[in-house]
Chain A
Amino acid sequence: MTERIVPGANIDGFAIGERVHSGAMGDLYRVTHPEHAQPLVMKAPRFRTGDSIENLLGFETESVILPQLSGPHVPRLIAAGDLTRTPYLVLELIAGENLETRMRRGQLPAPEVAGIGASIADALHGIHGQGVIHLDLKPDNIMDRPDGSVTLIDFGLAHHARFPDLLAEEKRYAAGSAPYVSPEQVEGTRHDPRSDLFTLGVVLYEMATAELPFGIPTTMAGLRDRLWVDPKPPRARVPAIPPWLQEIILRCLEINVDARYQTAAHVAFDLRHPDQVALTSRAQKSQQAGVFAQVGRWWRARERDPGRGARVAPALSATPVIVVAIDTVHPDDERHAAIRRATEQVLSVSAEFRLVCVSVLGVFGKSADAAPANADSDLHLEHLVRLRHWADPLKLPTHRLSLHVLESLSPSAALLEFARRNHADLIVLGAPGAAQRGMAWWRSVASTVAAHAPCSVHLVRVPERRTPGPTDDAFISLDDLPQ
C-alpha cells in the first residue's frame, strides 16, 4: 500500500476531507474532486492484521456490482481505486438519514412502517430485477431520502446472477449481519432473492416493535436457531399493530422460502393496500410455535443437506403482477368475457402471480353539489361488486387477487400510474371494439396505455363477426362448385 487515506491527502485527484463514519469494515470520508460537483464520499477499508483480505473481498464485490446497477435505489459509483495499490470506492453522497437513526427514536406507527417498508421493497425489487441480491440489508444500510424513497448502500456481500460469486465458497466470510440474516444464508445459500425478503421482514418487525425478532446471536449455534425458531408475533409485543401488518411481517419471516412472499413487488403491493391483504392464521398468532413444532423443525433442519436440497427461487418473470383493466361502467360489454379468457391464458403459465383488477371511473363533469355525500362510496362499492363479479369465474384464492376502483379525470393516466407504482409486469385491457372505434376517448385509453406502459400490454379484441354484405360475393361455397 503506497498511499494512505487520511484527511488532507489527495488520492487520484480526490481531496480527502473529514471522516464521517467509522464502521466495522472501513471508514467513510467526505471527498471533493474538481471534475465532480456533487457531494461525494470515499469508502476505504480498514486494515487490521489478519483480516485485511476479507475486507478487500467485500470491496472487490462492491466495486464489481455497483457499476452494473442503475436507478434511484443505489448510490452511483464514481471511481474505484486499484485493489492491489490503494483500494477505495468513491460514491455519491446520499442525502437523508439512515433507518437506524430514525428507528432509534422508538417504534413507528403502522402506516409509517408500511410506507417505509413499501419503499424498501421497491428498492429491493429494483435491484432484484437487475440480477442482484443485497444479502446484507439492515437499518444501517437503508438510506431514507427526503422524497420518501429509499436507497440501499453497502453491496459488499451482494450476489450478482451473471458474475462469478467471489464470496460463495469463502467459508470464513460472514454470511450477513447476525440479527437480520435469513435461514438459508446461515446454511451458505447466496443465490436466492427471497433471502432479502426475510431480512425485510426483520426490519419491518423492528420498525413496528422496536425489538429484534431473533435478538442478537453471538455464536454459530445461536445463528442456526434461525432454521427452526419462529419469532414472538409482533402483536404479542405491541397490541396496536394491525393484523394485516402482522400477516405481512410473519409471511416475510417464514423459515421455508416457498411460504414467504416470492417477490419484493408482492410485499410492496400488500404494504400499499392493507385492505387487500389476505389474512391467514399468521395475522392472529399470539405466541410462538410450541416446543413440539420447533423440535420438528429442528429435526428437519438437521436432516437437510443445504447443498443437495438447494431450492431454486422462481424467476421474476414467473411471479408477475398482472393488472387487468375492466370497464365496470359498461358491465354488458362483450369484451369482458374475452378479457377473462385472455387473463386465464396468461395465468395458466404463471405459478406465482398476483392478479390486480382495476376499474377506472371517469370523474369528468362531476360537480360538488350534484350528489349527496354518501353517493361516492355507494358508487365505489357498486363498481367493486361488479369487479368481483367479473373475477369470480377465475376462482382465484384471495391472496392472488385484489380489486381496485380508481377515480380519475384521465383513465389512461390513472392506469399507468397505478401500474408503475405497483411494479406491474403486464397490463391486460380491451382494445376498442367496432362500436367504440369512432370514439376518440376509447382509442386514446388503449393506445396511450400501450405507448407509455412501464411493462408489456396485452390488448384484447373481440373477433369481428362477419356480416353478409355485397363484398361477400367473392366467396363461393364448395357446394356451388361443379361436382
Chain B
Amino acid sequence: MILALLSDIHGNLEALNACLKHARNAGAKRFAFLGDLVGYGADPAAVVEIMMHQAAEGAIVLRGNHDDAVANPASYMNDSAKDAIDWARQALSEKERVFLARLPLIAKEDSAFFVHASANAPERWNYVDSPAAARTCAEASGCPYTFCGHVHHQMLYFQRREGAMSAFRPVPGSAIPMRGHRRWVAVVGSVGQPRDRTPAAAYALFDLSRGEITFHRVPYDQLAAAQKIRAAGLPASLARRVELGI
C-alpha cells in the first residue's frame, strides 16, 4: 500500500493537481493532507472542494494554522499572509469554512502519526525545524513514524541510538528505507509554496509494505498559479514566491 503525503497546498490548484496525478501514477492508493489547504494561493475554494471529496473517500485531511485562521484570525501572521487569509475567507462558502473549522489537528493509524506542525502541542503550531524539535515531536507522537508539514522544506529526521535525532536532507525520487524499530519524523515539504529556490511542488510517498519513503518534486505550471495570485489582487510578493520557489 502506497500512501501519498501532501502538505501546505496553500490554495495552489495547479500544484495540487500535478501532485495528485504524479501520486496516482506512482500507485498511491491512499492520501493524507497535512493541513494548510488555503492561504497565500488564489484557489482556496477549488482546493477545499477537492479536499471535501477526498475526505469523503477516506483520505486523512488535517487542519493547519492557515485553515484555522479563516475562522480565528491569527495575530502572529505577517501582513501578506493576513491579507491572503482575509481574501480566502470571503472567497470560501459558508460550507467550506465550516469544513475547514471542523478538520482534526491530528490523525493516528497503526504505527503512523499525522500532524500539520508538531505532535508536541499541535495547536501551538511549533515548527519541526531542528533535530531537537523533531525529537520532541517524535516523543509526543509515540509512533515510529510521524509525518508533518508546516516547515516548507523536505527533511527526514531519524533517531539515533541514544534517542537524539539527526537530520537528513532527502534526494528527490530516491526511496529511503525507514525501519520501524527506530523513530522517524518526515517533513514532507510544501505542495503549493516551496521555498528552497526550486518552484517544483514537494510531497512524499510512503510505501507501507516496503517501509520506504520517497520524497518527490513535481514540476507544474507555477507561472499560471502566480498569474492567478496577481489577478486576484493578492500581494505581488506571494506571486513571486510561487514563481521562483522563494
Contacts and interface: CB of A to CB of B under 8 A. Distances in A.
Interface of A: 53, 57, 60, 64, 83-84, 161-166, 168-170
Secondary structure at the B interface, as helix, strand, loop or mixed, is loop
A29 B176 CA distance: 29
Given A53-B161, A168-B166, A169-B160, A162 B174 contact: yes
B177 interface: yes
Contact of B181 (A84, A161, A162, A168): A84
A164 B156 contact: yes
Interface string B155-189: 01010110010101011001011010100000000
A80 B181 CA distance: 15
A271 B20 CA distance: 52
Interface residues of B, number: 14
A166 B166 CA distance: 9
Contacts of B181: 83-84
Contact of A170 (B156, B161, B168): B161
A165 B160 contact: no
B87 to A, nearest CB: 40
A163 B176 contact: yes
Nearest to A173: B161
Interface in B220-237: none
A162 B164 CA distance: 21
B177 A64 contact: yes
Nearest to A161: B171
B15 to A, nearest CB: 25
B168 A83 contact: no
Given A83-B181, A168-B166, A162 B171 contact: yes
Given A162-B171, A165-B168, A168-B166, A60 B179 contact: yes
A85 to B, nearest CB: 10
B179 A83 contact: yes
A170 B177 contact: no
Contacts of A84: 181
B168 A164 contact: yes
A161 B176 CA distance: 11
A168 B166 CA distance: 9
A168 B161 CA distance: 11
A55 to B, nearest CB: 12
A163 B160 contact: no
Contacts of A166: 158, 160
A57 B161 contact: yes
A162 B179 CA distance: 16
A259 B244 CA distance: 40
Contacts of B164: 169
A53 B163 CA distance: 13
